[in-house]
């Protein structure tokens, strides 16, 4: 048995990074064929806490949640149970560069130290996800837990002080944020600038219309199908002047509106700046084969979760990626060479639009969603997410259990006891 452990370095400690680590330690490594070998798991991430980003919008609307321990729980203690299988180490910092030839990640430390360190790997899993333009909503490459909390508190205070709020973007973040804000602050005027493609354009037509109707009729939110092209804070009034492109098909000139607060909920940027451009698609997402092996690099470099070009940016993709990567790692950790295509039983499914599997909440009482094309009743969405914006599920995520209806029912019973 080699005295040197096989180092599996995981970049990112969010949903995808934690999930694959639990699967590796709980299932893949203990069941590898042949004589027992040594492994070591090394996490590299800017924060020593898992960020339950799904709950961030509710926390903006109801700021006491920002200080709730469940929003940013510690993650390392949840790996102590695997001590007999492999040690788990943590380097607090962010990948600044990949030296694929030397099989080293160059990491800039965050937190107490700002030094640069080299982290060698035998296998590398890229789970660095994406950032949102409003940085408090999703953790960016350099954000520590203290940074995340501060940004959430700062934005929550701006929201509290504003009477008129404009949200740019028509995706699920805009829908959930606007409905949460109107529920918490019924007197504030909230407008969504959804752009030319309108509200939740990835959803089928019927669900799109339902979401738009509920936002306008139940929550009193104004939806404008125009794109925000520029925002600027007016130093004299303190307000945001937002420039809007003319509505599609209209020849009128751009217009400017003034609001107390503008929040961008437009798109996401992949956290992949440390990788060579040759492994990224034109949007900056990591390109891989359908077994999540990164294309164009030496073997044993993998991608999972939102950073992957095969993801639509949701937890359903994290789930399918974890299944595929588990199989890939089972095959490739057992062998000296990369696994042949014929060895695989499973592949990451191709992305299809419109989505047939999604859920969007509308305040704390329900939402609109489909499961495999079938309507999810609003009361089920309330239980699954809307009632507490999933914050009670953070412990399940970080602890390594998969979501199940049984777990949810047990959770609700516990809360009601
Ligand atoms: C407000 C909101 C609500 C959502 N609600 C839902 C929902 O209800 N259902 C659903 O399915 N999906 C939902 N999503 C999407 C879901 O949150 C994402 O799919 C999920 O976060 C993806 O996890 P990830 O681990 O791939 O990436 P991320 O969560 O983006 O995490 C990336 C991790 O990598 C770290 N990192 C970044 N750069 C570096 C670097 N250079 N080096 C090291 N570490 C780095 C980050 O700090 C972070 O730990 C929601 C997203 C948001 C923002």
- Of 71, 73, 130, 118, nearest to 93 by C-alpha is 118
- Closest residue by CA, ligand 1 atom 5: 54
pLDDT on residue 401: 80
pLDDT on residue 277: 97
Distance 78 CA to ligand 1 centre (A): 19
Distance 128 CA to ligand 1 centre (A): 8
CA distance 408 to 399: 15
In SS3 terms, the chain reads as: CCCCCEEEEEECCCHHHHHHHHHHHHHHHHHCCCCCCCEEEEEEECCCECCCHHHHHHHHHCHHHHHCHHHCCECHHHHHHHCCCCCEEEEEEEEEEEECCCCEEEEEECCCCCCEEEEECCEEEECCCEEECCCCCCCCCCCCHHHHHHHHHHHHHHHHHCCEEEEECCCHHHHHHHHHHHHHCCCCEEEEECCCCCCCCCCCHHHHHHHHHHHHHHCCCEEECCCEEEEEECCCCCCEEEEECCCCCCCCCCEEEEECEEEECCCEEECCCCCCHHHECCCCCECECCCCEECCCCCCEEECHHHECCCCCCHHHHHHHHHHHHHHHHHHHHCCCCCCHHHCCCCCCCCCCCCCCEEEECCCCCEEEEECCEEECHHHHHHHHHCCCCHHHHHHHHHCCCCCHHHHHHHHHHHHC
CA distance 44 to 36: 26
Return the domain boundaries, the chain.
6-134+268-343
Segment 94-109, tens digit of pLDDT = 999 999 999 999 999 9
pLDDT on residue 354: 78
Q: Is the pLDDT of residue 2 over 80?
A: no
Q: How confident is the model at residue 407 (pLDDT cuts 50, 70, 90)?
A: low
CA distance 236 to 239: 8
Residue pair 98/105 in contact (Cβ under 8 Å)? The answer is yes
Q: What are phi and psi of 408, to 5 degrees?
A: -65, -45
Q: Is the pLDDT of residue 264 over 80?
A: yes
| Atom of ligand 1 at shortest range from CA of 50 | 49
Token readout for 28 is: 């893949």
Q: How confident is the model at residue 244 (pLDDT cuts 50, 70, 90)?
A: very high
Distance 337 CA to ligand 1 centre (A): 31
Please state, rounded to an integer, the average pLDDT across all residues of the chain.
Answer: 93
Q: What are phi and psi of 155, to 5 degrees?
A: -70, -40
**End-to-end CA separation in angstroms for the chain:** 52
pLDDT on residue 408: 65
- Of 27, 70, 38, nearest to 52 by C-alpha is 70
Residue 331, sorted as left (phi over 0), alpha (psi -120 to 50) or beta, turns out to be alpha
pLDDT on residue 92: 97
Mean pLDDT for 227-231 is 94
Residue pair 294/303 in contact (Cβ under 8 Å)? The answer is yes
Mean pLDDT for 57-83 is 97
Residue pair 72/55 in contact (Cβ under 8 Å)? The answer is no
Residue 137's alpha-carbon distances to 32, 59, 132, 338, in angstroms, are 39, 10, 6, 38
The Cβ of residue 332 has, within 10 Å, a number of other Cβ atoms equal to: 19
Q: Is the pLDDT of residue 38 over 90?
A: yes
- Of 131, 128, 140, 215, nearest to 170 by C-alpha is 215
Residue of 119, 266, 275, 306 best suited for mutating to test ligand 1, as the one with most atoms within 8 Å of CB: 306
pLDDT on residue 112: 81
Distance 138 CA to ligand 1 centre (A): 6
| Atom of ligand 1 at shortest range from CA of 272 | 41
Q: How confident is the model at residue 1 (pLDDT cuts 50, 70, 90)?
A: low
Residue 262 CB-half CA count within 13 A: 24
Mean pLDDT for 320-344 is 93
CA distance 385 to 383: 6
Residue of 92, 118, 129 best suited for mutating to test ligand 1, as the one with most atoms within 8 Å of CB: 129
Segment 110-160, tens digit of pLDDT = 988 889 999 999 999 999 999 999 999 997 899 999 999 999 999 999 999
Distance 12 CA to ligand 1 centre (A): 9
Q: How confident is the model at residue 336 (pLDDT cuts 50, 70, 90)?
A: confident
- Closest residue by CA, ligand 1 atom 16: 314
Lowest mean pLDDT among 28-42, 295-309, 344-358: 344-358
pLDDT on residue 252: 74
List all residues whose CB is within 6 A of at least one atom of ligand 1.
Answer: 11-17, 44-47, 53-54, 56-57, 94-95, 127-130, 132, 137-139, 141, 173, 271, 274, 305-306, 313-316, 318, 359, 385
Q: Is the pLDDT of residue 412 over 70?
A: no
Q: How confident is the model at residue 31 (pLDDT cuts 50, 70, 90)?
A: very high
Residue of 105, 309, 315 best suited for mutating to test ligand 1, as the one with most atoms within 8 Å of CB: 315
- Of 396, 375, 316, 229, nearest to 408 by C-alpha is 396
Residue pair 274/286 in contact (Cβ under 8 Å)? The answer is no
Residue of 11, 14, 124 best suited for mutating to test ligand 1, as the one with most atoms within 8 Å of CB: 14
Q: Which fold has domain 6-134+268-343?
A: FAD/NAD(P)-binding domain (3.50.50)
Residue of 128, 178, 322 best suited for mutating to test ligand 1, as the one with most atoms within 8 Å of CB: 128
Residue pair 225/195 in contact (Cβ under 8 Å)? The answer is yes
- Closest residue by CA, ligand 1 atom 27: 129
- Closest residue by CA, ligand 1 atom 14: 314
Segment 375-405, tens digit of pLDDT = 999 999 999 899 999 999 999 899 998 656 5
The order of strands in the sheet holding 367-371 is: 358-361, 367-371, 374-376
| Atom of ligand 1 at shortest range from CA of 390 | 8
CA distance 138 to 131: 6
- Of 314, 54, 306, 52, nearest to 180 by C-alpha is 54
The residues that bridge with 94 in the sheet, in sequence order, are 108
| Atom of ligand 1 at shortest range from CA of 18 | 25
- Closest residue by CA, ligand 1 atom 15: 314
- Roughly what angle, to the nearest 10 degrees, separates helices 315-334 and 15-23? 40
């Amino acid at each position: 048995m080699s005295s040197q452990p096989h180092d599996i370095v995981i970049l990112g400690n969010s949903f995808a990074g934690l999930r694959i680590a639990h699967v590796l330690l709980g299932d893949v490594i203990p069941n590898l064929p042949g004589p027992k070998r040594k492994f070591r798991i090394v996490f590299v991430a800017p924060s020593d806490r898992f960020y339950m980003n799904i709950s961030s919008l509710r926390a903006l609307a109801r700021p006491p949640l920002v200080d709730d321990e469940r929003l940013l729980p510690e993650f390392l203690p949840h790996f102590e149970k695997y001590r007999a299988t492999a040690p788990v180490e943590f380097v607090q910092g962010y990948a600044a560069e990949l030296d694929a030839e030397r099989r080293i990640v160059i990491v800039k430390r965050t937190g107490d130290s700002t030094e640069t360190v080299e982290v060698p790997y035998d296998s590398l899993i890229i789970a660095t996800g994406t950032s949102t333009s409003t940085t408090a909503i999703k953790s960016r490459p350099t954000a520590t837990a203290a940074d995340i909390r501060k940004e959430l508190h700062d934005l929550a205070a701006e929201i509290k002080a504003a009477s008129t709020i404009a949200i740019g973007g028509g995706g699920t973040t805009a829908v959930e944020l606007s409905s949460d804000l109107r529920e918490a602050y019924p007197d504030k005027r909230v407008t969504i600038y959804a752009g030319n493609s309108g509200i939740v354009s990835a959803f089928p037509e019927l669900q799109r219309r339902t979401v738009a109707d509920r936002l306008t009729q139940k929550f009193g939110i104004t939806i404008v199908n125009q794109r925000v092209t520029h925002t600027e804070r007016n130093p004299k009034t303190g307000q945001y002047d937002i420039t809007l492109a003319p509505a599609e098909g209209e020849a009128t000139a751009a217009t400017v509106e003034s609001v107390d607060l503008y929040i961008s909920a437009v798109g996401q940027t992949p956290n992949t700046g440390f990788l060579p451009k040759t492994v990224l698609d034109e949007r900056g997402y990591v390109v891989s084969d359908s077994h999540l092996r990164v294309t164009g690099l030496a073997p044993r470099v993998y991608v999972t979760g939102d950073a992957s070009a095969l993801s639509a940016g949701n937890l359903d993709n994290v789930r399918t990626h974890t299944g595929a990567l588990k199989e890939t790692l089972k095959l490739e950790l057992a062998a000296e060479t990369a696994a042949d295509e014929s060895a695989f039983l499973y592949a990451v499914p191709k992305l299809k639009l419109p989505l047939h599997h999604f859920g969007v909440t509308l305040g704390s009482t329900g939402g609109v969603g489909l499961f495999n094309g079938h309507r999810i009743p609003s009361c089920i969405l309330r239980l699954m997410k809307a009632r507490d914006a999933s914050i009670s599920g953070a412990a399940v995520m970080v602890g390594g259990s998969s979501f199940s209806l049984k777990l949810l029912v047990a959770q609700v019973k516990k809360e009601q006891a």
